[in-house]
Amino acid sequence: MFKTFKFLYEKIVEHEFIMIPLMFAFTVISAIYPFIWVIVPAKIISLLDSGNIRVMVYYVLTGGILAIISVMGMEFLRGNFRMRMNKVRYFLIRDLIDYSLDMPYENTLHPDEITKIELADQAVAFPTRGAGGIILISLSLFGNIIASLGFIGVIGTLSPIMIIFIGTLVGLTFYFYRIASKYEESTWKASRSDMWKYFNMANLLSDPLYNKDIRVYSLKNIIESYCSGLFGQAKLVFKSIADKNIKMESLVVLLNLIRDISIFGYISYLLYTNVIEASQFFLYITSTITLMTILQTTFIQLSDIKKESKRLSYYIELMEEKAGFSKEGIDEGLRTKLNTDSFKIDFVNVYFKYPESETYVLENFNLSINAGEKMAIVGENGSGKSTLIKLLCKLYKPTIGNIYINGVDIESLPKDEYWKFFGVVFQDAMIFPFSIKENIVLNEEIDEKMLAKSVLKSDMKLILDGLPKGIDTVLLRTLDDDGIDLSGGQKQKLYLARAVYKEFKIMILDEPTAALDPLAESELYNQYDSLSSKKTSVFISHRLASTKFCDRIAYLSDGKIIEIGSHVDLLKQNGKYKELFDIQAKYYKDSSISEEVSYEI
């Protein structure tokens, strides 16, 4: 717990230092406030026999005014504090996003790493959990502790044994709550995997990306059947936790009953035997009730802080890992080698396998791509084409072997500087819920001249001319209800505009046109070809005819190059490339005839 308090204190000081004096002021007021309702009424009762109405009214008004000022002050401070707490929490969320973007990309392949991020997210995503929960609880915790000490002093003047008795019962209450809390924590931990599955499956029903398929293929019942099975498991978890809480709450109720009968009976006996007066009776009774309430609340708060500290510990662990991420720099000698428009790429004895897999996707892979050469990588699905591109882009790191750019091992180059060389369009390239302009530039700083050039060369101008807001049109409806969706062909032109705007030195296309028809794909590849003139380029495609323009074509199978050469050379070899090319040519020819027949009908 100390570690989490220290972490949060440092973050509060860093982002919202004013929260410290706000908490101090709230602590003082909240510690004094309960005494108003104990001392003032006791004083009024003591004045009843004297009949001094004027003094009694004075105490009533003074107590009422102090109570109103205290309540208003605490509400103001609480609201202000909560607002600033959320600001601190947003900084924590930003740091978590930074972590997910800065961590090695290959970590996304590890289920354990993804789980760690999800757990860390739970610590900052909600204002009453994790960091937010601890900060909010702490606001009233210190006032409760100070008030408890004050009431212990008051009751101690009557009987020190009562303090021990109350402390014992409250301690037992805290113990029972901790049992329930630990059980809940361990149960959730044991069932975490099933719960994630349930929430993920439930989200499918409302995810717009899946909505069309769910509707057209009537998948709702199938998904709900999976959800119902997972919900059955979740229901057992909830019931188990609820049953445990009921048992512990029953014990707490029994303890409270014993406490109330014992304390009220003892103080009533003292009043009956004239050991104390009526005003003292009221003072001790209300002090005891208030103390027990505050202590019980305090112990529950401590239990909650312990639980939320465990939740926050996952976040702190990630931030400690983030602090250990290396700050990459580049040697000036290496910078000189890369200060050119001519890039040669070499894969040397490269092996790669995915985490927890014994099978290599690439095995003893060797390939040289000459400066200015257009290289196509083709092959069947699962042959390692996309993995090869991710290795070249430094998203994955070779298990064994090296990749060189102009003789420089890419692992020695900072990723941010290295990525500046590339214009990459991935198979699963994304459209973001921003304007078309922002989707092209993908940067806060905009070069209007380059933007105009990219729009012109990618043929985006034809699309923009048909939109009322032109290049400022927002895509998707995530952030704007008037956002639009682009067709497959329009998306490809936007991706092309991105690549042109970036002024790449190495062009990489990883099957971005898989959803297009062969003619549209061929046309788009030719467009990329003209834009990447004299620049090193790598084209990935499963349609062999689309890459005929390339200088060389490498045919991959099971992570190895089995054929390499120009399109003409590979056809002459009469090997796997020609076999697949002939199959595809026949398929496209048959499809074309079928379309013509359908059209005539």
Greater model confidence, 61 or 342 = 61
Q: How confident is the model at residue 403 (pLDDT cuts 50, 70, 90)?
A: very high
At residue 316, the 3 state secondary structure works out as helix
Strands 552-557 and 400-405, sheet pairing: unpaired
Please report the pLDDT score of residue 330 as a whole number: 52
Please report the pLDDT score of residue 222 as a whole number: 75
Greater model confidence, 28 or 291 = 28
Q: How confident is the model at residue 561 (pLDDT cuts 50, 70, 90)?
A: very high
Please report the pLDDT score of residue 207 as a whole number: 66
Structure tokens at 509: 């296309």
pTM: predicted TM-score of the whole model, two decimal places: 0.73
- pLDDT mean over 522-536: 76
Cα–Cα distance for residue pair 413/546, rounded to 1 Å = 33
Helices assigned H by DSSP within 393-435: 415-419
Q: How confident is the model at residue 253 (pLDDT cuts 50, 70, 90)?
A: confident
- Amino acid identity, position 482: D
Handedness of CA 573, 579, 582, 588 (dihedral sign): negative
- Does 221 have pLDDT greater than 80? no
Please report the pLDDT score of residue 600 as a whole number: 32
Structure tokens at 44: 């009024």
- Does 328 have pLDDT greater than 60? no
Q: How confident is the model at residue 23 (pLDDT cuts 50, 70, 90)?
A: very high
Average pLDDT along the chain: 84
Q: How confident is the model at residue 435 (pLDDT cuts 50, 70, 90)?
A: very high
Bridge partners, residue 421, by sequence: none
Lowest-pLDDT choice from 102-111, 267-276, 455-464: 102-111
Q: How confident is the model at residue 599 (pLDDT cuts 50, 70, 90)?
A: very low
Q: How confident is the model at residue 329 (pLDDT cuts 50, 70, 90)?
A: low
In sequence order, the 6+-apart residues with CB closer than 8 A to the CB of 450 are: 501, 503
Q: Within 10 Å of residue 570's Cβ, how many Cβ atoms?
A: 22
Handedness of CA 436, 441, 442, 443 (dihedral sign): negative
Q: How confident is the model at residue 542 (pLDDT cuts 50, 70, 90)?
A: confident
List pLDDT tens digits, range 127-179.
998 999 999 999 999 999 999 999 999 988 888 888 888 888 888 888 888 88
| Listed residue (136, 147, 142, 135) closest to 294, CA to CA | 147
| Listed residue (533, 534, 501, 527) closest to 513, CA to CA | 527
- Does 391 have pLDDT greater than 90? yes
Q: How confident is the model at residue 205 (pLDDT cuts 50, 70, 90)?
A: low
Bridge partners, residue 40, by sequence: none
Read out DSSP for 127-183?
Answer: TTSHHHHHHHHHHHHHHHHHHHHHHHHHHHTT-HHHHHHHHHHHHHHHHHHHHHHHH
Read out DSSP for 346-398?
Answer: EEEEEEE--TT--S-SEEEEEEEE-TT-EEEEEESTTSSHHHHHHHHTTSS--
3-state secondary structure 80-136: HHHHHHHHHHHHHHHHHHHHHHHCCHHHHHCHHHHHHHHHHHHCCCCCCCHHHHHHH
**Residue 392 and residue 403 in contact, taking contact as beta carbons nearer than 8 Å:** yes
Read out DSSP for 191-226?
Answer: THHHHHHHHHHHHHTT-HHHHHHHHHTT-HHHHHHH
Angle CA 200–201–202, to nearest 5 = 90
Structure tokens at 411: 């692992």
Torsion of Cα atoms, 218 then 220 then 221 then 224, to 10°: 160
Please report the pLDDT score of residue 450 as a whole number: 92
- Does 537 have pLDDT greater than 50? yes
Highest mean pLDDT (candidates 68-82, 196-210, 341-355, 441-455) = 68-82
Cα–Cα distance for residue pair 4/320, rounded to 1 Å = 13
Binning the chain into helix, strand and coil, the percentages to the nearest 5 are: 65, 10, 25
**Residue 498 and residue 440 in contact, taking contact as beta carbons nearer than 8 Å:** yes
Please report the pLDDT score of residue 71 as a whole number: 95
Lowest-pLDDT choice from 12-26, 167-181, 191-205, 473-487: 191-205
Please report the pLDDT score of residue 52 as a whole number: 78
Please report the pLDDT score of residue 588 as a whole number: 59
- Does 244 have pLDDT greater than 80? yes
Burial code of 199-228, b = ≥16 C-beta within 10 A, e = fewer?
Answer: eebbebeeeeeeeeebeeeeeeeeeeeebe
- pLDDT mean over 267-288: 89
- Does 581 have pLDDT greater than 90? no
Cα–Cα distance for residue pair 126/328, rounded to 1 Å = 34
- pLDDT mean over 562-590: 85
List pLDDT tens digits, range 362-386.
999 999 999 989 999 998 888 888 8
Q: What is the gyration radius of the CA atoms in the chain, in angstroms?
A: 35
Structure tokens at 190: 């044991």
Please report the pLDDT score of residue 196 as a whole number: 67
Greater model confidence, 316 or 184 = 316
- pLDDT mean over 79-99: 93
Please report the pLDDT score of residue 437 as a whole number: 93
Please report the pLDDT score of residue 326 as a whole number: 57
Q: Return the H-helix or E-strand segment holding 473.
A: none
Cα–Cα distance for residue pair 559/544, rounded to 1 Å = 18
Strands 536-541 and 374-379, sheet pairing: parallel
Cα–Cα distance for residue pair 175/355, rounded to 1 Å = 43
